[in-house]
Amino acid sequence: MIDKIKSIKTNLELASLQLDKKSARVAIFRLIVFFAALVSFIVGFKNHLIILVILGAILAVVFISLVRYHAIIDERILEYKAKVGVLNRYIMRLSDRWKRFEDTGAEFLDDKDTLSRDLDLLGKNSLFQFISIAHTDAGRKKLAESLSLKNFDIKNISRRYEAITELSQKTEFLVDFEALSERIVSKREHAMSKLMTSDVDGEDENGSENNSENSSENSSEKKRIQDDTLPVWMYPLMIIIPLMNIASIVSVLIFDANPIRIIFTFILGVAATWGTMGYHNVIAENLYNYGAGAKDLQSMLKILSDQSFDSELLKKVHERTASRDGLLSSLNSLGTIATLDNMAFNPLVHLILSGFFAWDYFIDFLMAGWNKKNKGVIEECVDIVGDIEELGSLAVLSYVRNTSRPEIIMDNKDLTISFTGLYHPLLNMETVISNDSDIKDKLTIITGSNMSGKTTYMRTIAINMVLAYTGSGVCADHFKATFMKLFTSMRVMDDVAGGISTFYAEILRIKEMSEYVSSIDGDVDKNIDNDKYKVPALCLIDEIFKGTNSADRIVGAREALSKLSSSNAMVIVTTHDFELCDITTADGESARNCHFEEFYVGDELKFDYKLREGRCTTRNAMALLKMAGLVQN
């Protein structure tokens, strides 16, 4: 699959290079035509030579056509480069270079979302950063909610897996879809730069307002302009400005009037058009937001509607696209208006069209009609795109990692987590170590040397369970687990402003686990296929109570772990305190002991990151201190 991606990327780069050369040639020819038209107009008007004026007009039309042709070439270059960027990101995911991706999803990381922080689901070097192909706000938000388990339905796992798997088999579709999505966002940002710092509602760019009375009135005016019609004064100006310029040109050519008259009427046209730019910015808001990318948005929905899907979820998304009358045609008409507006994107062309034809007024007229006819279209289209981006992001994992379908057990009678070849999706495939295990004990104590892999092992289990709950494939040869609510206590931080120490912060985490376990004790619903159900808990605790002294830590840990490991919870905990290895559960069962260990090659400390049965019998703290030069022997 990656070899195919590399081949497609190379071909697109060559095609893009050829178009770059063509674009340069057209740009030079366009410049020559412009100066030829300018000279023809100046000489023609100065000497009253109608033939040169006509030639200038023809050259002006040729110039505008070349501007449009050049824009088409540049559009194709952007298309190729966007696809190359998408393919390059797939390749970067094979190594640690994916950590350079700018979009980390950090803005969706809530302070209370300890699961996402502990498991690197959102934020820097996170699962979101690794797999996201979402560029729209809707798609990014949906992906963040899925990964943080804020928006998932256990009954939907199977349907989501089928949809995600189907998308993973449609490589070209996903690449084209992401490239178009990225272009829409970049074009939107570019188009928004056209907006002026002032607005008709009296607010500046930083949100400062005039007095509330004027602000309220102008807000009503803004809504009226957007929802109803153009200001009344704009209609006559759409006619007067072009006629005024035509009359000036005719008077100079036929009646030998002073050519300054043309410049004068031209300046009046520019002043009238640009002086009311605030109204234009309001009326053309949808145009600036999505008009430049309307053709891309239409293309996205077109390739979506042209696809045939087998999975239930994708069929529903497809039906939303194909069944609604006028959805694609609405985008097409918005794209046409955007094309006309783009003709004036060049500052010089915009100046000419504004002065002679009041160009922006005609754009406003078209947009006012579009806004009235197509309420809610953009929102629906963006929501459809967001659905595909979210599912497609999860499908990306299967391109760059070896995945398999997880088995989620809905029967809570016997809690279990069983896997072979399980590994962490965010670690480099060239160095990552997989593990096998069959966890059925209510309490598992993991001991081991520093840096030997204890915490990573717990995160590996948990992040793969998250993937399984989202409907994605998991990074394992085989994975089976009872459906359990996930609790973690790993990256516990103090809160100086709130007066909470690290130790107390961890107490609060474990208290939350304990309260949940107590609330479901003896009351777990064996049939969870309903709207309201209670499920067992999986509690993952790293270095329990590390923020206090060893004596209190051992006593507190014994009590807490005994209470947590009830019949309705499974607990996995790491510790350096060997005294905890003899702990028993609330039911009197002995804890299972596992460990990681180190070995030495000469004086060099090494780890194999493999889980072994039994408690750890080695230590490496002094070796690490010696390596750091803090002790001599």
pLDDT, average across residues 54-62: 91
- Residue 119 binned pLDDT confidence (cut-offs 50, 70, 90): very high
3-state secondary structure of 32: helix
Please say if the pLDDT value at position 203 is more than 70. Answer: no
Helix %, strand %, coil % of the chain (to 5): 60, 10, 30
- Taking alpha carbons only, the member of 110, 138, 109, 149 closest to residue 126 is 109
Stronger pLDDT, 496 or 271, i.e. the higher one: 271
pLDDT of residue 58: 92
Tell me what pLDDT residue 107 has. Answer: 95
Place of tokens 């000469």: 602
Enumerate residues 6+ apart whose C-beta is below 8 A from 171.
1, 4, 5, 399
466-493 pLDDT per residue, tens? 999 999 999 999 999 999 999 999 988 7
CA 625 to chain centre: 43
pLDDT band at 338 (very low <50, low <70, confident <90, very high): confident
Q: Each residue of 530-579: pLDDT tens digit?
A: 444 578 999 999 998 887 777 888 888 898 998 888 778 999 999 988 88
CA 406 to chain centre: 25
pLDDT value at residue 348: 75
Segment 593-609 mean pLDDT: 83
CB under 8 Å to 123, separation ≥6 — which residues? 104, 105, 106, 109, 116, 117, 129
Task: Answer with the residue of higher pLDDT: 114 or 549.
Answer: 114
Which pLDDT does position 595 carry in this prediction? 93
Q: Residue 465 pLDDT > 90, yes or no?
A: yes
pLDDT of 615 > 60? The answer is: yes
249, amino acid identity: I
Q: What Å distances lie between residue 595 and 32, 71, 616, CA to CA?
A: 76, 63, 5
Percent residues over pLDDT 70 in the chain: 85
Judged against a pLDDT cut of 90, whether residue 616 lies above it is answered with: no
Collect all residues with Cβ–Cβ distance below 8 Å to 455 and sequence separation of at least 6: 490, 542, 543, 574
pLDDT digits (tens, 9 = 90+) for 390-408: 999 999 999 999 999 999 9
pLDDT number for residue 477:
97
Tokens at residue 501, please? 């120490």
pLDDT of 114 reads 93
| Model pLDDT, residue 42 | 87
Lowest mean pLDDT among 104-108, 463-467, 497-501: 497-501
Residues 396, 90, 301, CA angle at the centre, nearest 5°?
60
**The pLDDT of residue 521 is above 70:** no
Mean of pLDDT values over 312-340? 81
- Asked whether the predicted pLDDT for residue 508 surpasses 60, the reply is yes
C-alpha triplet 176, 177, 183: angle, nearest 5°? 90
pLDDT of residue 32: 94
pLDDT tens per residue across span 120-173: 999 999 999 999 999 988 999 999 999 999 887 888 999 999 999 999 999 889
Higher per-residue confidence, 518 vs 456: 456
Tokens representing residue 412 in the block: 């809570």
CA distance 116 to 123: 8
Of residues 548 and 440, the one with the higher pLDDT is: 440
Q: Specify the pairing of strand 417-422 against strand 435-439.
A: antiparallel
Within 10 Å of residue 616's Cβ, how many Cβ atoms?
23
pLDDT band at 301 (very low <50, low <70, confident <90, very high): confident
Closest CA to 249 of 57, 33, 62, 64: 57
475 and 403 Cβ atoms separated by less than 8 Å:
yes
In this prediction, residue 227 has a pLDDT band, given cuts at 50, 70 and 90, of very low
Q: What is the mean pLDDT of residues 94-116?
A: 93
Confidence band, pLDDT 50/70/90 cuts, at residue 206:
very low
Whether residue 207 has pLDDT greater than 60: no
pLDDT confidence bin for 365, thresholds 50/70/90: confident
Determine the residue type at 183. Answer: R
Question: What is residue 576's predicted lDDT score, i.e. its pLDDT?
Answer: 85
Q: Is the pLDDT reported for residue 274 higher than 70?
A: yes
How far apart are the C-alpha atoms of 372 and 361, rounded to whole Å? Answer: 17
Is pLDDT above 70 for 287? Answer: yes
With cut-offs at 50, 70 and 90, classify the pLDDT of residue 214.
very low
> Which percentage of the chain shows pLDDT scores above 90?
38
Q: State yes or no: pLDDT of 288 exceeds 80.
A: no
> Does the CA dihedral 321-322-327-328 come out positive or negative?
positive
pLDDT of residue 229: 66
pLDDT given at position 325: 59
pLDDT of 178 > 80? The answer is yes
Please report where in the chains the tokens 């659905």 appear, as a residue: 387
pLDDT at 250 over 60: yes
Record the tokens describing residue 401, joined without a space. 């990692």
How confident is the model at residue 16, as a pLDDT?
A: 85
Which of the two residues, 339 and 523, has the higher pLDDT score?
339
The sign of the torsion formed by the CA atoms of 576, 577, 583, 585 equals negative
Average confidence score pLDDT of the chain: 83
Mean pLDDT within 445-457: 89
C-alpha span between 596 and 612 (Å, rounded): 6
- On the question of pLDDT at 200 being above 60, the answer is no
What one-letter code names the amino acid at 145?
Answer: E
Q: Are strands 443-448 and 592-596 parallel, antiparallel or unpaired?
A: parallel
* pLDDT higher than threshold 90 for residue 630: no
* pLDDT value at residue 219: 47
358 residue type, one letter:
A
For the stretch 328-366, what's the b/e string if a residue is b when 16 or more beta carbons lie within 10 angstroms of its beta carbon? bebbebbbebbbbbbbbeeeebbbbbbbbbbbbbbbbbb
